[in-house]
Amino acid sequence: MSSATTSAARRFLIWGGATGWVGGHLEKLLISQGKDVHTTGVRMENQIEVQRVLDEIWPTHVINCAGKTGRPNVDWCEDHKLETIRANVIGTLILADECEKRGVHCTVMATGCIYASQYTPDHTHLTSSSFRETDPANFSGSFYSYTKSRVEDILKHYPSVLILRLRMPVSDDLHPRNFVTKITAYARVVNIPNSNSILYDLLPLAIAMAEHGETGIVNFTNPGAISHNEVLGLYQEIVDPGFRWENFTLEEQRGVVKAGRSNCELDVTKLLGIVKRYQAEEGGWEGEVPEISVAYRRCFERMREGLQSRGGALA
């Protein structure tokens, strides 16, 4: 979709926005911006229904937030391979293809969990370079990641598709899908630096990128990497001083999970270049994508304020 499309003519359709976590955040954000926004929960693998929804709503922009990540985690995908294929591969391609036929820009909320970085023996420091958008996937330790890397290899050939690679997404609340909610609920956690995506910083940018007609693959995380202990330390400092946690090793983790877990840092040079370009435009984009430690501190401060305003403060 051309960036010349006027704001009044834009119509957003969020796939998976009816009940989804990220989709729900996007819907609220688009509404707050005064945008024409619609949502659907139609299964993407049902091609006839996908065609019907697109032809009824006639969006200019589709944002695909649907797919299978597994409940409560990606281990689910190991035992439900066909369902995972239908949603993450067949459905994703059907939606992208039907959008392409209609000249509709399609943003896919994808994942960066297709890489495995190298670390020191204790896994506390990275020893390899961060992964760029052009680097081939090198992690297939989970069926979820395998499907995501395979479908991305096909999606990137669609000229009107934007692929945003999120990692360990975090919201300002304690939603069950929030990465922070997950690790605070675990009895023990590993302590490994990773790229993370703070939704407060990134979702407004996703909308701007769709409106600008960006295409191709973009690593969609805050700059830098942060370890689980650093995240939980900030959570303890800002949100819940009484919180305690214990660590265990990767080897011990492998004994309690079915699927391997991706641990990596993504290079966000391309993303920051886009941000700089938008900020330089007339009436430029006012957001920013801060370094991950700074972003987490701000996130937890907003989380604490939200809890206090609802009378549920932990601090």
pLDDT given at position 254 = 64
Whether 257 has a pLDDT exceeding 70, the answer reads no
* CA 241/CA 22 separation, integer angstroms: 28
pLDDT given at position 72 = 65
Residue 20 — pLDDT band, cuts 50, 70, 90? confident
Residue 315 — pLDDT band, cuts 50, 70, 90? very low
pLDDT given at position 16 = 86
Whether 159 has a pLDDT exceeding 50, the answer reads yes
Residue 141 — pLDDT band, cuts 50, 70, 90? confident
**DSSP code string of 182-225:** HHHHSSEE----B---BHHHHHHHHHHHHHTT--EEEE-S-SS-
pLDDT given at position 18 = 67
Task: Give 274-289 pLDDT, tens digit per residue.
Answer: 999 999 998 888 899 9
* CA 13/CA 1 separation, integer angstroms: 14
Question: Please, are residues 99 and 168 in contact by the beta-carbon 8 Å criterion?
Answer: no
With a CB cutoff of 8 Å and minimum separation 6, the contacts of 190 are 123, 228, 247, 248, 249, 250, 253, 261
Q: In the structure encoding, which two tokens stand for residue 24, read together?
A: 């729900």
Whether 158 has a pLDDT exceeding 60, the answer reads yes
In order of 148, 177, 207, 239, 241, the CA distances from 74 in angstroms are 12, 12, 27, 27, 30
* CA 218/CA 204 separation, integer angstroms: 15
pLDDT given at position 76 = 87
- Please work out, in degrees rounded to the nearest 5, the angle formed at the alpha carbon of residue 154 by the alpha carbons of 273 and 52: 100
pLDDT given at position 2 = 37
Task: Give 204-216 pLDDT, tens digit per residue.
Answer: 999 999 999 999 9
Q: What is the mean pLDDT of residues 189-203?
A: 96
Mean predicted lDDT score pLDDT of the chain: 91
Q: In the structure encoding, which two tokens stand for residue 153, read together?
A: 């290899």
* CA 150/CA 172 separation, integer angstroms: 31
Q: What is the mean pLDDT of residues 155-164?
A: 98
Q: What is the mean pLDDT of residues 75-80?
A: 87
pTM here is 0.94
Name the residue among 73, 84, 13, 292 with its Cα closest to residue 170.
292
Name the residue among 248, 273, 272, 274 with its Cα closest to residue 261.
248
Question: Please, are residues 144 and 74 in contact by the beta-carbon 8 Å criterion?
Answer: yes
Task: Give 88-132 pLDDT, tens digit per residue.
Answer: 999 999 999 999 999 999 999 999 999 999 999 988 999 999 999
Which CATH architecture is the domain 11-170+195-225+263-295 placed in?
Answer: 3-Layer(aba) Sandwich (3.40)
H or E stretch covering 180: helix 179-185
* C-alpha dihedral sign at 272, 273, 279, 284: negative
* CA 274/CA 209 separation, integer angstroms: 8
In order of 62, 229, 231, the CA distances from 237 in angstroms are 39, 12, 10
H or E stretch covering 276: helix 269-280
Phi, psi for residue 192 in degrees, rounded to 5: -135, 130
pLDDT given at position 70 = 65
Whether 29 has a pLDDT exceeding 80, the answer reads yes
With a CB cutoff of 8 Å and minimum separation 6, the contacts of 197 are 166, 167, 168, 169, 170, 220, 221, 222
